[in-house]
Amino acid sequence: MGDIAVIAGKVVAIMTVFLIVWLAMGKRQLGELTPLDFAVSITVGAIAGAAIIDPRIRLVEAIAAIVLLGSLQMTLSWLSLKIRALHNQLNFQPTVLVENGQIIKGNLRKARLPAEMLLQLLREKEVFDITEVELAVLEPHSKLSVLKKAEFLPLTPNRMKIPVNPNNILLPVILEGELKEQILQKMGFSREQIAAFKAQYEASLPEVFVAFMDQKHQLHIIKEDVEETGIFLH
């Protein structure tokens, strides 16, 4: 039991420090990690795993190593923002793979991407005819950005010179029966108006799953007991 308690304590301490360091490294999705972020993450994970399992590694040493690696990553990231040359060395650069309907074979080889994979990425962008592509760029996070030729772009109100109303943004003012007073405040409600709103809907709050409100203060309510109708199965 003593060994289990020690391991549990290490897990909690190391994972807490790891989470703090990860959050301090900045908001990135896993698919958007830079090579430096990836290297630091792998190394920190190895240190954390070794420290949890190996009793010879002291907890303070593991935590110090994790903090130092996180500090190194943040320092190099900050320097890369200030020094363009360093940024180019630490990060992949965008690579043009298709230009004016033609595949750039040399760049495809530099990206170590087979033609079949490029065609798959294009299909994921709803491109089945490569001649429609003006530009296709492989971004540093390995996603493909595609610009179609002007004649193949969808018509928009702006291109048709048609005036349109602004977007109607709905904000959740009630979530699972809980009134979000801060959102009402941001929408311009006074304390008195919030109190009146709460009094008006207080009895029915438990029946509300989500309630959205637009800029005109109109409500769209989704109740707790909504069930699937099954019409999409036929």
Please, what sign has the CA dihedral across residues 20, 61, 30, 93?
positive
Q: Quick check: is 233 in a domain?
A: no
- In this prediction, residues 21-46 reach a mean pLDDT of 72
Rounded Cα distance, 130 and 52, in Å? 51
How many domains, in total, are found in the chain? 3
Q: 200 and 148 in one domain?
A: no
Residues composing the chain: 234
pLDDT of residue 59: 83
Q: 106 and 75 in one domain?
A: no
Interhelix angle 2-24/59-82, nearest 10 degrees: 10
- pLDDT at residue 84 is higher than 60: yes
Q: 102 and 83 in one domain?
A: no
pLDDT digits 0-9 by tens, 68-77: 888 888 888 7
**Residue 79 corresponds to which tokens in the numbers above?**
């320097």
Q: Quick check: is 162 in a domain?
A: no
Q: Which residues pair with 219 in a beta bridge?
A: 213
Q: Quick check: is 161 in a domain?
A: no
**Residue 126 corresponds to which tokens in the numbers above?**
């709803």
The more confident residue out of 138 and 42 is 138
pLDDT of residue 203: 85
* pLDDT level of residue 89 (50, 70, 90 thresholds): low
Position of tokens 């363009």?
Answer: 84
Rounded Cα distance, 130 and 150, in Å? 14
- For residue 188, give its domain range: 171-223
- pLDDT at residue 43 is higher than 80: yes
pLDDT of residue 5: 78
* pLDDT level of residue 231 (50, 70, 90 thresholds): low
- In this prediction, residues 181-202 reach a mean pLDDT of 90
The more confident residue out of 174 and 26 is 174
pLDDT digits 0-9 by tens, 124-182: 999 999 999 999 999 887 789 999 998 888 888 888 889 988 888 899 999 988 899 99
Q: Quick check: is 231 in a domain?
A: no
Cβ–Cβ < 8 Å for 168, 214: yes
- In this prediction, residues 93-120 reach a mean pLDDT of 91
Q: Quick check: is 35 in a domain?
A: yes
Q: 175 and 107 in one domain?
A: no
Q: 100 and 143 in one domain?
A: yes
- pLDDT at residue 52 is higher than 90: no
Q: 59 and 34 in one domain?
A: yes
Q: Quick check: is 229 in a domain?
A: no
Rounded Cα distance, 19 and 11, in Å? 12
* pLDDT level of residue 233 (50, 70, 90 thresholds): low
Q: 99 and 70 in one domain?
A: no
CATH number at residue 117: 3.30.240.20
- pLDDT at residue 30 is higher than 70: no
Q: 137 and 79 in one domain?
A: no
Q: 66 and 35 in one domain?
A: yes
Q: 23 and 6 in one domain?
A: yes
Average pLDDT along the chain: 84
Q: Quick check: is 27 in a domain?
A: yes
Q: Quick check: is 13 in a domain?
A: yes
